[in-house]
Chain A
């Protein structure tokens, strides 16, 4: 036969569990999640949303610097990490505050980091999160290396890495998928396709119909989920986690979601997108849908929501107070910039440190 169709092993599946109102689309797809965890998922999504709003306010007041808001992407993050273990690793990009909070990072750490204090990146020892990675698409390779090392050591944890739709145009993303496919590493690639890479829409990134299908070229299964449906995201993550843990290798999960807010606080989206589009996605926003689902199951009432909101507000205020106190304590510690460049400070760096120390001292004297 001179021409024949090559039989490729994968199709791309789209998965959703809840409709726009939060009703179950198919009861068979409803994941079995203990009530307590469902409520924690709800609380963390709400906390992440309110924390995001508060950070935006702090940024506008000049109390912190540039950051990337997550509004609208809470389900795409909480759904993933809620399905994983604490001992698993997470390799984020720079828009995963919700996932990081779930995994034990504190709000203070983000406030500090975004106020320009690298001390915010001092992660607690038992938290297996890598710090924020700013260069787009570079971090999935670290996830593949980590998961290779896990497999080499015979540990049955997995690594989840997050990135956006824009990152799928970067070479490092493709190299990561390819290495993971060849090595069959326990890696979960999570693309938060929020439709916009700053001002560039999803269709200008790639002519592919889905981002999930990019996995197929590397012999890796890829699937698309409704990224604003926390249950669908959970199911996808649970299945990818099971595959990885049982030695079946990596999976790419494309969470179709939407960035309801800004790329970063330095961005003005009215320059490039229509308000109607935002309104359309606002109707599909993940927290309301999930609340309706929980109400339908009698796990949550309006009264409960009010209570959670109150608790969260106090929790955030506490974090802001603590962070601002810490910032005060950390002022004047410029010399720490020389710490941790190397395990041991080379003599020429010590000299430069002394130079800055003298400079700072002279300034203090002239200010006094």
Chain B
């Protein structure tokens, strides 16, 4: 199995899906000649030509709005918004049309598009290039919201997203793009949308995270084992909407203690929904208050102070220890 970065893995997914299905079209700013500013679409133009790999004008609503039209005609557009911080210009198109067309027409018309866009901090970027606003999309009925955490699941999830009959917002953690390599099988692999994954088993505490925050979370879990002899179960959410409550609840029933980690602001963030669901459905299994380790409710600072904003393995570890210290 070749070892790939997340960028390579996403590129492989696009290549293979475009080869298999001529309905798949890639469009966005700089996705063609330049291969995308992060090179995720590299080589696609050469292989599939400019009718299928379109360097669009610089207009986010235009990219998403025309993708909606293409999807209505039966194509499978995969559009790229260069940074998620610029996707809000397309908010109306997604909220008012992509998310509702199936419902509005009682199933007569559907919009199977994928909006790929990099999110997350930690890459020393300019303002508007580092935030995590997945809650906007996850809060919108009719959209699916997916966030991979590593090369292998990024490839599998992107393939599933492209084949999915509903509109999918696909956040790519840019801090992970080239952070590490992982074995990714050459043959086709998918991961069902709406399904979380237990990536580390343990009986003492459940740690729930996704995207770029999986790394500090897993590091904290390792240290808990090494330093405290505690076995943490780690769940990678993978799909923020529709959320896989079952897998989360199953783990919590086993451990009774929970820490949720994300870099999005805390208030009304995905963690808030997870807490609410666990309290509603698994309250009697809880042995301690649920802790959230998240971004603060401020604008993510420019990179000089960014580290203090982003959840670190230390912060996660501290929260986990406090949770574990609470007597049952």
- Please name all residues of chain A whose beta carbon is closer than 8 Å to the beta carbon of B61 when the two chains form the complex: 141, 171-172, 175
A145 touches B67 (CB 8 A): yes
A142 touches B105 (CB 8 A): no
Closest chain B residue to A351, Cβ basis: B245
Given A175-B59, A175-B61, A341-B141, check contact A141 B93 (CB 8 Å).
Answer: yes
A179 touches B56 (CB 8 A): yes
Could you list which residues of chain A lie within 8 angstroms of chain B, going by C-beta atoms? 91, 118-119, 121-123, 125, 130-131, 133-135, 138-139, 141-150, 152-153, 171-172, 175-176, 178-179, 182-183, 339-343, 346-349
CB contacts between A and B, total, < 8 Å: 134
Closest chain A residue to B95, Cβ basis: A135
B69's partner among A123, A143, A340, A341 (CB-CB below 8 A) is A143
Chain A's interface: helix, strand, loop or mixed, by majority? helix
Given A121-B106, A341-B141, check contact A130 B57 (CB 8 Å).
Answer: no
Q: Which residues of B (27-59) have their CB < 8 Å from a CB of A?
A: 51-52, 54, 56-57, 59
A121 touches B105 (CB 8 A): yes
Q: Which residues of B (135-178) have their CB < 8 Å from a CB of A?
A: 141-142, 144, 164-166
Task: Let me know if B242 is at the binding interface, CB within 8 A.
Answer: yes
Task: Let me know if B258 is at the binding interface, CB within 8 A.
Answer: no
- Please name all residues of chain A whose beta carbon is closer than 8 Å to the beta carbon of B106 when the two chains form the complex: 118-119, 121-122, 339-340
A175 touches B194 (CB 8 A): no
B102 touches A138 (CB 8 A): no
- Please name all residues of chain A whose beta carbon is closer than 8 Å to the beta carbon of B75 when the two chains form the complex: 149, 152
B96 touches A342 (CB 8 A): no
- Please name all residues of chain B whose beta carbon is closer than 8 Å to the beta carbon of A119 when the two chains form the complex: 106
B166 touches A343 (CB 8 A): yes
A145 touches B93 (CB 8 A): no
**Apart from A142-B72, A146-B69, what are 5 other A-B pairs with CB-CB below 8 Å?**
A148-B70, A172-B65, A340-B106, A340-B107, A343-B102
- Please name all residues of chain A whose beta carbon is closer than 8 Å to the beta carbon of B97 when the two chains form the complex: 133, 138-139, 142
B103 touches A340 (CB 8 A): yes
- Please name all residues of chain B whose beta carbon is closer than 8 Å to the beta carbon of A339 when the two chains form the complex: 103, 106-107
B165 touches A343 (CB 8 A): yes
- Please name all residues of chain A whose beta carbon is closer than 8 Å to the beta carbon of B66 when the two chains form the complex: 141-142, 144-145, 148, 176, 179
- Please name all residues of chain A whose beta carbon is closer than 8 Å to the beta carbon of B73 when the two chains form the complex: 145-146, 149-150, 153
- Please name all residues of chain B whose beta carbon is closer than 8 Å to the beta carbon of A135 when the two chains form the complex: 92, 96
Task: Let me know if B243 is at the binding interface, CB within 8 A.
Answer: yes
Q: Provide the bound-state CA to CA distance between A327 and B70, in Å.
A: 34
Can you identify 28 A-B contacts, CB atoms within 8 angstroms? A91-B69, A119-B106, A121-B105, A121-B106, A122-B106, A125-B108, A131-B109, A133-B97, A138-B65, A138-B93, A139-B97, A141-B65, A141-B68, A142-B69, A142-B97, A144-B66, A146-B72, A148-B66, A149-B74, A149-B75, A152-B75, A171-B89, A175-B57, A176-B62, A176-B66, A178-B57, A343-B102, A348-B242
Q: Provide the bound-state CA to CA distance between A131 and B57, in Å.
A: 27
Q: Provide the bound-state CA to CA distance between A141 and B107, in Å.
A: 21
